[in-house]
Amino acid sequence: MPYMWISCNNQPQYIPVCIGSTGVTAADYMTQPFILRWGIISTGRIANCFVTDLLVDPKTRNVTDVVHKVTAVGSRSVQSAQKFITEYAKGDQSIKAYGSYAGVYADPNVNAVYIGTPHTLHYENALDAIKAKKHVLCEKPVTTNAAELRSLLAAAKEHGVFFMEALWTRFQPLTLEVKKISESGVLGAPLALQADLSDNFQIDKLPKTHRILDPALGGGALLDLGPYPLIWAILALYEHPANQGAAPSNVSGTMLKTPLTGVDRNTSFTVTFAERGLAAQAILSCNLNVHGHQTGVVIRYEKGTIAIAAPIYCPKSFTVQYLEGDKVTKEETRRFEYVGNGWHFQADEVARCVRDGKSESSLWGHDKSLVEMGIFDEVRRQGNYKFPPGVEKVV
């Protein structure tokens, strides 16, 4: 039976508006959803996915308090922006096509900006948007290092805008349900977690300028694939109430680099939490030259396990086993279905946060992105993976 999630934050919360000057009455406002007007930065594959989901009718996922409208698209040329609008935004002639990102930032009809450029460009793109006083949803990894992220967060605070990393997995129905079970206590405390995201990119057949191989674009497995195994460790361990918000007590990583360009081809890292009331460890991996496998994530608890099916960035099922000693006493599998591919849930979160005047999300707050980037910095340090000069804008 299909399972449809209704967000626990789905209760309408309204902000004051000037009634009368636009012909809107108080009664109209109380029944109308909040509309967030988006500007899209980049017209690549990830932006395609985001916009396609953004335009799915929210009512198909039982969302009635917010809706989304694309009002501007920025690309390298007006022609490519217009092509994107035609192919992925239903040819909506009201959407403005810009041959630069600056046009999107300056557009007064844009409330929030989605940044889908390569991650070595995230810092400057996000900073430009923030300075234009646009709210920002920036693709993962949010920056190339933690110093860049801290700089962006300071700028967002200065200019009074919302800022969030687009780790879409965190907002999907399955993820919210896993978190609920994990923190309910029915399985006891989490003890160990394994997660992997791998794909065979056939890197020997790719040009060395491809984003996955080019160190000038932050190439390699860690920054491109690593956020997805790590998000499950952050969800199940860092966010667990017993951890009391403590940072990892230890991070250990190792890299195997490709001789093609020197980026990491295979990376494994262990993240340990043992500072406060939690004692647990996550073993995480990402690879560019092998296919992923089932099961993508396994979280082991005192009284059971949660096994999450691949692909771990957008899983559609998980299985819970309840244990007494080493005996399985009950097993249940939960499956999830919805219209779209899972990118729209994060957009709903952004809309609600903007509507409610928040500077960050309670689901994927700034602290979690800082933990993520701090871990990646340490794994790169231990793996001696240094970006070319000039790639990191803040160090």
How many structural domains compose the chain? 2
Helices (H) and strands (E) in the chain, counts: 11, 14
Q: Which of 168, 188, 221 is the last residue of a domain?
A: 168
Residues 294 and 269 both lie in one domain: yes
| Strand duo 264-273 + 135-139: pairing | unpaired
Q: What is the pLDDT of residue 9?
A: 34
Residue 348, domain member (yes or no): no
Average pLDDT, integer, range 368-374: 98
- Structure confidence at residue 19 (pLDDT): 29
Q: What is the CATH number of the domain that holds 225?
A: 3.30.360.10
Instruction: Let me know: does 134 contact 112? Beta carbons within 8 Å.
Output: yes
Q: Do 295 and 181 fall within a single domain? A: yes
In contact, 153 and 163? CB cutoff 8 Å: yes
Domain C-terminal end among 124, 144, 168? 168
Residue 108: domain span: 26-168
Domain shared by 126 and 263, yes or no: no
Q: Distance (Å, rounded) from C-alpha 34 to C-alpha 153?
A: 25
Of the pLDDT bands very low, low, confident and very high (cuts 50, 70, 90), residue 92 is very high
Of 142, 168, 194, the domain-final residue: 168
Confidence band, pLDDT 50/70/90 cuts, at residue 248: very high
- Residue 278: φ, ψ to 5°: -115, 140
Question: To the nearest whole percent, how much of the chain has pLDDT over 70?
Answer: 92
Q: What one-character DSSP code corresponds to residue 19?
A: -
Q: In this structure, is residue 13 part of a structural domain? A: no
Q: Is position 228 within any domain?
A: yes
For residue 244, being part of any structural domain is answered with yes
Which tokens hold the place of 124?
């400057």
User: Does 18 have pLDDT greater than 90?
Assistant: no
Bridge partners of 37, per DSSP, are 69
Residues 328-339 have a mean pLDDT of 98
Instruction: Answer yes or no: do 111 and 214 share one domain.
Output: no
Q: Using one digit for the tens of pLDDT, what is the confidence trace for 168-225?
A: 999 999 999 999 999 999 999 999 999 999 999 999 999 999 999 999 999 999 999 9
pLDDT per residue as tens digits for the range 65-90: 999 999 999 999 999 999 999 999 99
Q: What is the pTM of this model?
A: 0.92
From 156, 151, 168, 97, select the one nearest 131 (Cα to Cα).
156
Cα(361)–Cα(60) distance, rounded to whole angstroms? 23
Q: Which stretches does DSSP call E strand in the chain?
A: 34-41, 66-74, 96-98, 112-115, 135-139, 163-166, 190-198, 250-257, 264-273, 280-287, 297-301, 304-308, 317-324, 327-335
Q: Are 204 and 325 contained in the same domain?
A: yes
Show Cβ contacts of residue 195 under 8 Å, excluding neighbours closer than 6 positions.
Answer: 228, 229, 230, 232, 233, 282, 283, 284, 285, 296, 297, 298, 312
For residue 45, count other CB atoms closer than 10 A to its CB: 9
The answer to whether position 9 is within a domain reads no
Average of per-residue pLDDT across 81-107: 98
According to the model, what pLDDT value does residue 30 have?
52
Q: What is the pLDDT of residue 364?
A: 98
Specify if 92 maps to a domain.
Answer: yes
Per-residue tokens: 15: 């902000």
Structure tokens at 93: 């002639």
Q: Are 284 and 229 found together in one domain? A: yes
CATH code of the domain covering residue 108: 3.40.50.720
Residue 111 covered by a domain: yes
The rounded mean pLDDT for the chain is: 93
